[in-house]
Amino acid sequence: MNPSTTDAKARQAAPPPTDNPGPAAARPAAPRPRRPVFTGRRGLSIAAFMAPAALFVAIFVYYPMIAGGQMAFRNWNLNDLTDTSWVGLKNFKGILDDPVFYTVLGNTAVWVVGSIVPQFVIGFAIALWLRRRFRFRGLYQALIFFPWAISGFLIGILFRWMFNSEFGVVNDLLEKAHLIDTPIPWLADPKTAMTAVVIANIWYGVTFFTIMILAALQSIPDEIYEAAALDGAGKVRTLFQITIPSIRGTLALTVLLRVIWIFNFPDIIFGMTGGGPSNETHIVTTWMISITQQGDYGKASAVGLIVVAMLMVFSVFYLTATRERNGKTS
């Protein structure tokens, strides 16, 4: 995550600029010499170039975010704004005492793990198969990229219609295949609703893994594979001893980014079930939206801060774990 370390790493690792047009190598690597021409006005011009972006983000992103953060420690309910006093950790206590919070936490775990594992496996497989050139590869890549043009909210709506219990195409196909006899009320039944939203999310997210992993695969030099083939390494061995170790860094980073992102991604659920039935598909962020809609901004902000804290702890553990493993293999 830390851009300074990745920069430094890239600078150390990258060879001096060559004509190699590969995706990973096409980056000027050597530290640039200072340009004396600008020393006098350098600071000023940096500030002038950064100013518009900084102003916009400060006013419309950072200010509301920080203001929202402090609401977590205040009594801030839209239904009664007469008393907005500081209440310390009362909002957090209220959340920890709320049984829904634990349902929501469990749902979030199912949502994240249930989505990311299949996304990773399918995305990886497609990337491996796409490495080989074939006639319509470009078209194929463009087609499987399409889900990305659609908003999560609309994807929720699309799948809500397909999972409709009476007129939905999913039940119809399952009946035609003789897998079920009676229609399943997918989104109305607490037992199946989570499965349905996870399926929608898998559909949406596979492409991201394919794109990232394919780009990483293409940066592995062919010579390594040729050498492995000469040594008589089989396909499975090549995969586990060459391919995966070579792109471990990308794999680790991609998984981390996706976990953070899926954790924070209420759109599909919002469009598909709105968190129902009886809170069974609420994840922390959809729950936060419903609390906001009830007007309790203090509680909603506290949920938001809990999310941030959980993601930070997770990121630190994850980065430590993957770094150690990387160290052992290299």
Instruction: Please tell me whether residue 203 binds another protein under the rule CB under 8 A.
Output: yes
Count CB-CB contacts under 10 A for residue 297.
Answer: 21
* Closest approach of another protein to the CB of residue 189, in Å: 18
Buried b (16+ CB within 10 A) or exposed e, 41-71: eeeeeeeeeeeeeeeeeeeeeeeeeeebeeb
- In DSSP terms, 74 is beta-bridged to 86
249-268 positions binding another protein, by CB under 8 A:
249-250, 253-254, 257, 260, 264, 266-267
Would you count residue 114 as binding another protein (CB under 8 A)?
A: no
Ranges within 73-112 binding another protein (CB under 8 A): 76, 78
In the range 209-238, which residues lie near another protein by CB under 8 A?
211-212, 215-216, 219, 222, 225, 229, 235
292 binding another protein? (CB under 8 A): yes
Whole-Å CA distances, 188 to 168, 194, 273, 274, 281:
13, 10, 9, 11, 11
* Cα distances (angstroms) measured from residue 322 to each of 8, 81, 255, 316, 329: 19, 47, 11, 10, 11
**Rule CB under 8 A: which of 269-288 touch another protein?**
270-271, 285, 288
Output 114 or 156, the one with its CB closest to another protein.
156
Interacting positions 307-326 with another protein (CB under 8 A): 307-308, 311
Please list, in sequence order, all residues whose beta carbon lies within 8 angstroms of the beta carbon of residue 92, skipping any fewer than 6 positions away: 72, 302, 306
CB of 265 to another protein, least distance (A): 10
Instruction: Give min distance, CB of 12 to another protein, in A.
Output: 12
Q: Measured from the CB of residue 112, what is the shortest distance to another protein in angstroms?
A: 14
Q: Hey, which residues between 180 and 199 contact another protein (CB under 8 A)? A: none
- Give the total of residues touching another protein (CB under 8 A): 110
Tell me how far apart the terminal alpha carbons of the chain are, to the nearest angstrom. 20
Burial of residue 266 (number of CB atoms within 10 Å: 0-12, 13-18, 19+): buried
